[in-house]
Amino acid sequence: MDYYNLALLGFGNVGRALVRLLLAKADELRDQYAIAWKITGVASRRLGWCANPDGFDPQLLLDGNFQPEGLVAPSLTDWLSAARPDVLFENTSLNAENGEPAISHIRAALEGGAHAITANKGPVVHAYRELRELARARRRSFLFEATVMGGAPIFSLFREALPATRLRRLRGILNSTTNLILSEMEAGLGFEQAVKGAQDLGIAETDPSADIDGWDAAVKVAALVTVLMGVPLRPQDVQRQGIRGLDPSAVRAAREAGQPYKLLCTAELRAGDVVAIVAPEQIPLTDPLAHVRGASSMVEFQTDTIHRLTISEQDPDVDTTAFGLLADFIRAVSPG
């Protein structure tokens, strides 16, 4: 049995869902993978840098009255030193402009000998090569399956099941919030009503600008292009238009005419360069993407070996994202 110290940096909805999943899967981790774990570090804006080498009680972490036990460290470096993590889960908020401070968090963890796993897209789009090479040099893993389409196996699919494959084009619906808003507008709601409904469901943020203006989708496109096509792409270099300017009556009319609007993400490799676009488009009902409703997502890949490979994810939630983190944990610590 191998025992692993886990440190959670960012303890919001995703962090809590991960702890619940770790508890629910404890028997399977032990029996199938010989993995046991304890949480020796938890950090957030509210809690500070909390470390306990003996491990926190996971159930106490999940109740609303958790009080830090053990050491409250003054800094990231001191926290990592006190928690002694074998695995860091970095789940702080996205900074689409430069990926900080998540990049620095992951760099420090890798330099300290921990595997680094994240649901934060920022480090992938702004420091993928640096962090990948650092992880290799330290014989550790830098993994990020949960960054695009939650627990859907996209990055691991290309890495593990599609050797010597070159991705030439991708096309899909990668932002579930905008897809839900468009579906609600098709059903008769106004734009503001549809946004409010998505917020009430916990799918849209209090400030939904990143979703409705296309930034979240652009960051996801940049992550896929950077990792899978091997061409570094900044979100700022993705041609971007959101759904804010769409008129609800036009959205309904488009669906009735069999040409519904979708916020499409496309990227194509052309002579070593990439053209990437996020924009609302009308697509025919003969297109599988036209039938992606609600908070679901779908992406199509065209490679030099497979003409079309499609991955879809139906109505994901925070537990789906947590599974992506758990799957990366197993990959990181399992032999081979």
297-334 in b/e form (b: 16+ CB < 10 A) is bbbbbebeeeeebebbbeebebbbbbbbbbbbbebbbe
Domains of the chain: 2-151+319-333 (3.40.50.720), 167-315 (3.30.360.10)
Main-chain dihedrals φ then ψ at residue 87, nearest 5 degrees: -140, 130
The Cα 35–Cα 268 span in angstroms is 41
In this predicted structure, what is the pLDDT of residue 315? Answer: 86
Per-residue pLDDT of the chain (336 residues; tens, 9 = 90+): 778 999 999 999 999 999 999 999 999 999 999 999 999 999 999 889 999 999 999 999 998 777 776 678 899 999 999 999 999 999 999 988 899 999 999 999 999 999 999 999 999 999 999 999 999 999 999 999 999 998 899 999 999 999 999 999 999 999 999 999 999 999 999 999 999 999 988 888 889 999 999 999 999 999 999 999 999 999 999 999 999 999 999 999 999 999 999 999 999 998 879 999 999 999 999 999 999 999 999 999 999 999 999 999 998 888 999 999 999 999 999 976
Helix (H) or strand (E) segment spanning residue 163:
none
Contact call for residues 90 and 10 (beta carbons, < 8 A):
yes
Residue 88 · residue 115 · CB < 8 Å: yes
Q: What's the CA gap between 158 and 223, in Å, rounded? A: 14
Q: How far apart are CA 248 and CA 111, in angstroms?
A: 51
In 3D, which of 201, 163, 202, 208 has the Cα closest to residue 305? Answer: 163
At 46 the three-state DSSP class reads coil
Examine the residue annotation and report whether 196 is marked as an active-site residue of this protein.
no
Predicted local distance difference test score (pLDDT) of residue 269? 93
| Pairwise CA distance, residues 157 & 132, whole Å | 17
Alpha-carbon distance 9 to 3, whole Å? Answer: 20
Q: How far apart are CA 262 and CA 173, in angstroms?
A: 7
Per-residue pLDDT, 70: 64
Question: Could you write out the DSSP letters of every residue in 258-292?
Answer: T--EEEEEEEEEETTEEEEEEEEEE--TTSGGGG-
Q: CB–CB of 19/61 below 8 Å?
A: yes
**Distances from the Cα of 333 to the Cα of 155, 172, 173, 321, 330, angstroms:** 17, 32, 32, 19, 6
pTM of the model: 0.94
Residue 2 has a pLDDT of 79
pLDDT of residue 8: 98
Q: Are strands 71-73 and 48-56 parallel, antiparallel or unpaired?
A: antiparallel
Contact (Cβ atoms closer than 8 angstroms) between residue 293 and residue 260:
no
Is the distance from CB of 281 to CB of 198 less than 8 angstroms?
no
CA atoms within 13 A on the CB side of 198: 31
Residue 308 structure tokens: 């079309």
Active site residue: 121, 196, 220, 262, which one?
Answer: 220
